[in-house]
Each structure stands twice: as structure tokens, then as C-alpha cells.
Amino acid sequence: MQVVILCGGRGTRMGSDEMPKPMFPVGDKPILWHIMKIYSHYGFKDFVLCLGYKKEKIREYFQEAHDWNISFVDTGLDTNTAGRIYKAKNHIKDDVFFATYGDGLADINIKSLLGFHHTHKKIATL
């Protein structure tokens, strides 16, 4: 199952024009790395990164991530959330996939979330 991560944010409110939001450090690793590590802990290692602002910084950092299968998709600089997912549609293999923002961390049991989604048989679980 794939994890689509929205990585197009500029980070201006975080005080930087040089770094996209997903690359801001938490400890010694970018926020995005921590998000991907959480999903991979639950066995989900196939990622679609929807890139925008400073996309090359994200691509360079994750280019050699051997434990993860990563598709890098340029979704534009000013594309909204739905637009980014739409532009990544050719890289999304199944109807059921995770979608998350690349600039926030939360303590969520990913397997329980997926179970909830399957049990309730809805089009989306947020």
C-alpha cells in the first residue's frame, strides 16, 4: 500500500525561504524522514512524494533511501492539496492509499487507522 506525502510547502511561516517545510529538522533528521519512518515501522515503504517548492532539496536528500521505494512527482509550485494528489495519480497504484502532509508529526497507530477505514467501508478516512 502506498503513502502519498504532500511536500510542496514553502516554509515561509517557519522563517525560511531556503528550505521546504518537509525538510525542517526535528533532531538531526527532516520532518519528512520522521513521517516516512513512522509509516515504514508499520510496513508501508512505498512512497509518492508530491514535490513543489525547492523540490531538488527533497530529491537530493532521499535519492539514496535504499529501504524505501520512492516516486518523486513534481506537482508544481502553487498547486493545492487535491491538485497535488491529482497530478500524482499516474504514480498511485491502488484505490486505497494513505495521504498525509509532509510537515506534521502525530502519534497514530497506522494499522489501526487502516483497519478503521476497511471496517467502515467509506471512500476516505481523515
**69 part of a folded domain:** yes
Domain CATH code at residue 26: 3.90.550.10
Is 125 contained in some domain? no
Yes or no: say if 54 and 17 are a contact pair by the CB < 8 Å rule: no
Is 37 within a domain?
Answer: yes
pLDDT tens digits for range 68-95: 999 999 999 999 999 999 999 999 999 9
Q: Is this prediction's pTM over 0.85?
A: yes
What is the pLDDT, as a whole number, of residue 123? 92
pLDDT, residue 37, reads 97
15-20 LR contacts (CB < 8 Å, sep 24+): 18/54, 19/54, 19/57, 20/52, 20/53, 20/54, 20/55, 20/57, 20/58
**Domain span at 84:** 2-120
Instruction: Look at residue 119 in the predicted model and tell me its pLDDT.
Output: 97
Render pLDDT for 18-55 as a digit per residue (tens, 0 to 9): 789 999 999 999 999 999 999 999 999 999 999 999 99
Our measurement of the distance from residue 106's CA atom to the centroid of its chain's CA atoms, rounded to an integer in Å, reads 13
Q: 11: pLDDT confidence band, cut at 50, 70 and 90? A: low
pLDDT at 19: 87
Number of domains in the chain: 1
CB 9 within 8 A of CB 103: yes
